Amino acid sequence: MNLNEMGRRAKESAYQLQKLSFSDKSEVLMNAARALIHDCPAILKANEKDIAAAEKNGMHPGLVDRLRLDEGRIKSMADGLMEIAALPDPVGEELSSFDRPSGLKIKKVRVPIGVIGIIYESRPNVTADAFGLCFKAGNAVILKGGKDAINSNKEITSSLRGVLADCINNPNALQLIESPDRAVTNEFMKLNRYVDVLIPRGGGGLIKAVVENSTIPVIETGTGNCHIYIDESAEISKAVPIIVNAKTQRIGVCNSCESLVVHKNIFAQLMKELIPALAPFNVELRGDEVAMNLLAHLAVQTFHNADENIKKMLTDVIRATEEDYAEEFLDFILSVKTVKDVGEAISHINMYNTKHSDAIIATDEAVTSRFKNEVDAACVYVNTSTRFTDGFEFGFGAEIGISTQKLHARGPMGLKELTSYKYTIESDYLCRP
């Protein structure tokens, strides 16, 4: 099927979807969740092909982790659909109403966007999440996944389209572009006749290409160079678990910590507890001159009798570059910057972050208040891991992506971010004088 035909069918589907009731959509989503569980063996078999090809081609371990499915992750996909099914329907919500002296009665009402296009890389769970959110918000969706996950995406899409065919007699509410050809992707970005908005999910290169080449309006989802600032007022024993969680729990996700910013007065005390906690994960540190000198001193004074993992971690510390501070590593690598106060920390973060998620660990309320107000990011955390930037954690059921731009949507994009609005105006047969 050519792209114009896919676009035409999606547009037709969108007009059907906007008529569905809350119960209609909920039934489809619950059946879709059950279908994913039923089709789990076939999905895992397809995913094994993708994983084998990725490892053969030398894909980075962090990206392989994004690509990998197991029974638990498929159950999470299904749980996400069930949660979306139970969420309030945003379509038809009255946002405001007011009367004018002329006699006009005006209402602002939430409506579906229409047709949403999503281009994404090695994360097959996006296929189910994107379908669920777009469908519940009354939108048809055209997906263009990366070639690395093509077998997984095809199997998941087949399962979901089967449910659409059975429940609403229209599988074209969800369509997958299967061609890996870049020319097809470029053509898709020009399909503004049918597609109302395009959302890229993936690395910086993909997002840049979509923003620069699309004739469709784009909601930009960003890479995650996330920071944690440790203030001199921080409680070290509580800060260390947050850093370890944010850095090591899953290295291949956009809400993991990539950069540690530390008040110089607390640096040595922090590292005495943090180094042993990070060493089992073989985390590589890339620090500024002050950090390197202090770590060298700790290696001699504190960790001279430490185990080999700790010694290796301290031996392998390298000098951070400008590129390191701006990098989304998706690896067991952590850049380290020392600062003299919260103002310097904020300046550093705003210079190098990707406007995704940044955190502060502190007990000084004046410091945390300034950090919250001045850090330019979609999500700003206080004494909390950045790993919580997630639609499921925010109660959205899932997310279509983490928007790092400031127009229309910002942060985890749930149902309401996948709608627009229109005005309905009534009167007693008014004509403009």
- The predicted pLDDT at position 62 comes to 74
| SS3 call for 39 | coil
CA angle 23, 29, 34 (to 5 degrees): 125
Contacts of 248 (CB under 8 A, 6+ apart): 278, 281, 283, 332
The rounded Cα 59 to chain-centroid distance in angstroms is 21
d(CA 140, CA 12): 9
- The predicted pLDDT at position 192 comes to 96
Q: What is the CA radius of gyration of the chain?
A: 24
d(CA 394, CA 255): 13
DSSP-assigned letter for residue 221: B
Q: Residue 23 burial (CB < 10 Å; 0-12/13-18/19+)? A: exposed
Other beta carbons within 10 angstroms of residue 374's beta carbon come to 15
- The predicted pLDDT at position 1 comes to 66
d(CA 124, CA 255): 18
Per-10-residue mean pLDDT of the chain, 433 residues long, equals 93 95 96 98 97 92 88 94 94 97 96 96 90 96 95 98 96 96 94 96 85 92 91 97 96 92 97 96 96 92 88 92 94 97 98 96 98 96 96 80 85 92 95 86
